[in-house]
Amino acid sequence: MKKWISICAILVLSGSFLVISSLAATNDAPEVKAIKDRGVLKVGVKVDVPNFGYRDPKTNKIDGFEIEIARVIAQKILGNKNKLALQGVTAKTRGPLLDNNELDLVIATFTITEERKLSYNFSDPYFTDGVGLLVKKKPGYKSLKDLDGKKIGVAQSATSRAAVQAEADKLGIKVEFLEFATYPEIKAALDSGRVDGFSVDVAILSGYVDKSTVILPERFSPQNYGVASKKSNEGLAALVNETIVGLKNSGQLDKLIKKWKLK
Ligand code: GLU
């Protein structure tokens, strides 16, 4: 009996030693040290997605669910949730900004895909959204099926084109895609009639609905959002993931989702 107790004690002690030493290794990673030395965490966020990452034109302040996640990570690394340098990104700019070290992290409705995982580290998902379609009310479209032969505006480097194409193939319809650099440009193209539909995650579309447009009820291809870091920054990625897992397990993530009315 005594022997068993001491074997168990050794196992428990060595287990906690392993956990403590791996945490120390994570915190000692050179990219984490660089953030500590700099005293500020550089995060790429959306500035045009209400409730996720949005710059209030009146106050010029950026806030939202994803900014709150950035604050929790800043608190974890720097002991101060406000030591953040936020930079607005788009679907097209966020990857290159990580590659050239202008950003430590991207928390910007960035969908985790197998292909992107080859280039970046992603945390566990912190939110799941669906791809949708914004159309003008006038033609009376009820679903993607009604857009057979029509043009759909999507953002460059976004997952939307592949998502809509897969759905169109299932329905046996043909759609044409026009690609734009930014969402305001797609909305302008919808308004002017250059495209018949605007497709992206519903979270993003919600910021563009107005009196003359409507989001169709269908949702395609679930989009899991993750916090991204440069592929070589594995220590930082591990620390970020611990933070996301902690937020999930403590119920704090759900509280933030409720606070920002995301579900
Ligand atoms: N979430 C999608 C993606 O990562 C839509 C693009 C965007 O986030 O702006 O491709």
228-258 pLDDT tens trace: 999 999 999 999 999 999 999 999 999 999 9
The protein residue with its alpha carbon nearest to ligand 1, atom 10, reads 158
CATH number for the segment(s) 130-223: 3.40.190.10
The pLDDT value recorded for residue 263 is: 79
Q: Is domain 35-126+226-259 annotated with CATH 3.40.50.2300?
A: no
CA of 4 to the centre of ligand 1 (A): 54
How many Å lie between the centroid of ligand 1 and the Cα of residue 233? 22
The finding on whether 198 has its CB within 6 A of some atom of ligand 1 is no
- CATH 3.40.190.10 placement within the chain: 35-126+226-259, 130-223
Decide whether any atom of ligand 1 lies within 6 Å of the 91 Cβ.
yes
Of 75, 86, 109, the C-alpha closest to 239 is 75
Q: How far apart are the first and last CA of the chain?
A: 53
Q: Taking the chain (263 residues) in consecutive chunks of 10 residues, what is each chunk's mean pLDDT?
A: 52 48 62 97 96 96 98 98 97 96 98 98 98 97 98 96 97 97 95 98 94 97 98 97 98 97 87
Query: What pLDDT, on the 0 to 100 scale, is given for residue 28?
Result: 81
Would you say the CB of residue 223 lies under 6 angstroms from ligand 1? yes
Q: How far is CA 167 from CA 31, 57, 180, 225, in A?
A: 41, 36, 21, 21
Mapping DSSP onto H, E and C, the string for the chain reads CHHHHHHHHHHHHHHHHHHHHHHHHHHCCHHHHHHHHHCCEEEEECCEECCCEEECCCCCCEECHHHHHHHHHHHHHHCCCCCEEEEECCCCCHHHHHHCCCCCEEECCCECCHHHHCCEEECCCCEEEEEEEEEECCCCCCCHHHHCCCEEEEECCCCHHHHHHHHHHHHCCCCEEEEECCHHHHHHHHHHCCCCEEEEEHHHHHHHCCCCEEECCCCEEEEEECCEEECCCHHHHHHHHHHHHHHHHHCHHHHHHHHCCCC
pLDDT at 19: 46
Do β-strands 228-230 and 120-122 pair in parallel, antiparallel, or remain unpaired? antiparallel
Tell me, in angstroms, the distance from the centre of ligand 1 to residue 81's CA: 26
Does 229 sit in the ligand 1 pocket, CB within 6 Å? Answer: no
- C-beta of 111 in contact with ligand 1 (< 6 A): yes
Q: Rounded to the nearest whole angstrom, what is the distance from the C-alpha of residue 177 to the centroid of ligand 1?
A: 16
Q: Kindly state the tokens that stand for 6.
A: 């001491």
Whether the model clears a pTM of 0.75, i.e. scores above it, the answer is: yes
- The reply to whether ligand 1 has any atom less than 6 angstroms from the CB of 66 is no
Contact predicate 108/53, CB 8 Å: yes
